[in-house]
């Protein structure tokens, strides 16, 4: 889509673009290029000089057990965060869509966690489940459920998944609810007259019509779990115990800032940029399809 009529002006459009372009170049292209460049370098142990090593940083990464582990960890984390938060949100949205009285109250009470920062969500959940002081941890132990996220990797993973999923429910809920409300009532009514019961209507009419929303949320949730959960991991487990909650983004940070392994961290950045690129393309194809829809 383009405008039929435009202004003729030689200098003005460049002036208007300058602020954004400067910021983009300085804080986006420059660092990205830097990451690309550094990923091909290997600094000496004292950090005084570095050597051009082509792709050996990448080669090293893909032979690094810890890095491959981080991939698996990220996959598990992302899968469960997406599954838990999307299924809860869908359940709530379907129910809220049926409610006539108090629907807006339910909506209001369900959307506010969107505003809670991941890092703060981490603090709140830790406060509930921390083995020594958490009140829920106390009651779990009281009824005999073994619980120690400080020492047990699986427990720690469960905890960060719950906190991350909790925070994302509101977002998914909003989009599912909007998607449900966009389904024409006449379709539901036609199905009801055709004799379909509630569950049958949901399975054969509502859910298929909701699939663009579902697919969109799938991508958004993957992006969220991959990149935006840093604050949750950092406040709750710091990647531990024993790297059991070290997702890829966390490893970029810990290798770069804690481990000072700049070449490896840069190579990891480059790989993550590729992941983002792929997700962007998927998202785009989705947008195009929705336009034609």
Partner 1 sequence: MVEKRGVGTNMVHLVLITGIVIVCFPIYLTFVGSTLTHFEVIRPPMPLVPGPHFIENYTRALTSGVHVPVGRMLFNSLVMAMGIAVGKIAISILSAYAIVYFRFPFRMLAFWAIFMTLMLPVEVRIVPTYEVAASLGLLNTYSGLILPLIASATATFLFRQFFLTVPDELLEAARVDGAGPWRFFKDILLPLSVTNIAALFVILFIYGWNQFLWPLLITTKPEMNTIVMGLKQMMPTADDYGNWPVTMAAAMLAVLPPVAVVLFMQRLFVKGLVETEK
Question: Looking up tokens 């929705």, which residue turns up?
Answer: 290
DSSP annotation of 100 = -
DSSP state of 173: H
CA atoms 229, 232, 238, 240: torsion sign: negative
Strand, helix or coil at 257?
Answer: helix
3-state SS, residue 50: strand
Give the three-state DSSP class for 46. coil
Q: If you search the block for the tokens 């709140």, which residue do you land on?
A: 124
Closest distance of CB 75 from partner 1, Å: 17
In this complex, which beta carbon is closest to partner 1, that of residue 126 or of residue 157?
Answer: 126
User: Minimum distance between the CB of residue 42 and partner 1, rounded to whole angstroms?
Assistant: 15
Alpha-carbon gap, residue 94 to 3, rounded angstroms: 41
Q: Are 169 and 113 in contact (CB under 8 A)?
A: yes
Q: Report in angstroms how near the CB of residue 92 gets to partner 1 at its nearest.
A: 5
- Residue 211 touching partner 1 (CB under 8 A): no
**Nearer Cβ to partner 1 (157/267):** 267
The Cα–Cα gap between 110 and 248 comes to 30
Q: Which of 55, 68, 95, 258 touches partner 1 by CB under 8 A?
A: 95
d(CA 32, CA 18): 20
Positions in 241-270 near partner 1 (CB under 8 A) = 249, 252-253, 256-257, 262, 265-266, 269
Q: Enumerate residues 5-34 that contact partner 1 by CB under 8 A.
A: 5-10, 12-14, 16-17, 19-21, 23-32, 34
Neighbouring residues of 61: CB distance < 8 A, sequence distance ≥ 6: 67, 264, 267, 268, 271
The CB-of-211 to partner 1 minimum distance in angstroms stands at 17
Considering only residues 181-200, where is the footprint of partner 1 by CB under 8 A?
188-189, 192, 198
Nearer to partner 1, 25 or 55 (CB): 25
Q: How far is the CB of 216 from partner 1 (least distance, A)?
A: 8
Among 119, 183, 209, 218, binds partner 1 (CB under 8 A): 119
φ and ψ of 32, to 5 deg: -65, -45
Out of 58, 125, 147, 176, point to the residue binding partner 1 (CB under 8 A). 125
- Indicate whether 80 belongs to the interface with partner 1 (CB under 8 A): no
Q: What is the rounded CA–CA span in Å between residue 137 and residue 195?
A: 49
Any idea what DSSP says for residue 149?
Answer: T
Choose which of 48, 63, 65, 112 interacts with partner 1 (CB under 8 A): 112
Closest separation in Å from C-beta 161 to partner 1:
15
Site for partner 1 in 131-170 (CB under 8 A): 132-135, 137-139, 166, 169-170
Residue ranges in 51-70 that form contacts with partner 1 under rule CB under 8 A: none
Q: Is there binding between residue 178 and partner 1 (CB under 8 A)?
A: yes
């Amino acid at each position: 889509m383009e405008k039929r009529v435009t202004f003729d002006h030689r200098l003005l459009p460049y002036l208007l673009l300058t602020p954004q372009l400067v910021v983009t170049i300085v804080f986006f292209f420059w660092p990205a290029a830097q990451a690309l460049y550094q990923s091909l370098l290997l600094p000496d142990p004292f950090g005084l000089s570095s050597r051009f090593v082509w792709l050996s940083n990448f080669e090293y990464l893909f032979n690094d057990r810890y890095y491959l582990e981080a991939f698996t960890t990220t996959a598990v984390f992302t899968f469960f965060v997406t599954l838990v938060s999307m299924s809860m949100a869908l359940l709530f949205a379907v129910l809220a869509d049926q409610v006539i009285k108090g629907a807006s109250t339910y909506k209001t009470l369900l959307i506010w966690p969107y505003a809670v920062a991941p890092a703060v969500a981490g603090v709140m959940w830790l406060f509930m489940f921390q083995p020594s002081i958490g009140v829920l941890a106390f009651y779990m132990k009281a009824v005999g459920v073994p619980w120690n996220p400080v020492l047990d990797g699986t427990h720690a993973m469960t905890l960060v998944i719950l906190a991350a999923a909790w925070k994302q429910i509101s977002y998914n809920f909003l989009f599912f609810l909007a998607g449900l409300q966009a389904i024409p009532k006449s379709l539901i009514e036609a199905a009801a007259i055709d004799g379909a019961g509630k569950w049958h209507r949901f399975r054969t009419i509502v859910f298929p019509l909701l699939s663009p929303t579902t697919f969109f949320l799938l991508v958004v949730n993957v992006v969220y779990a991959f990149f935006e959960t840093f604050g949750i991991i950092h406040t709750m487990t710091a990647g531990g115990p024993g790297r059991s909650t070290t997702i890829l983004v966390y490893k970029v940070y810990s290798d770069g800032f804690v481990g000072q392994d700049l070449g490896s961290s840069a190579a990891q950045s480059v790989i993550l940029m590729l992941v983002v690129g792929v997700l962007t393309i998927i998202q785009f194809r989705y947008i195009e399809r929705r336009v034609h829809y």
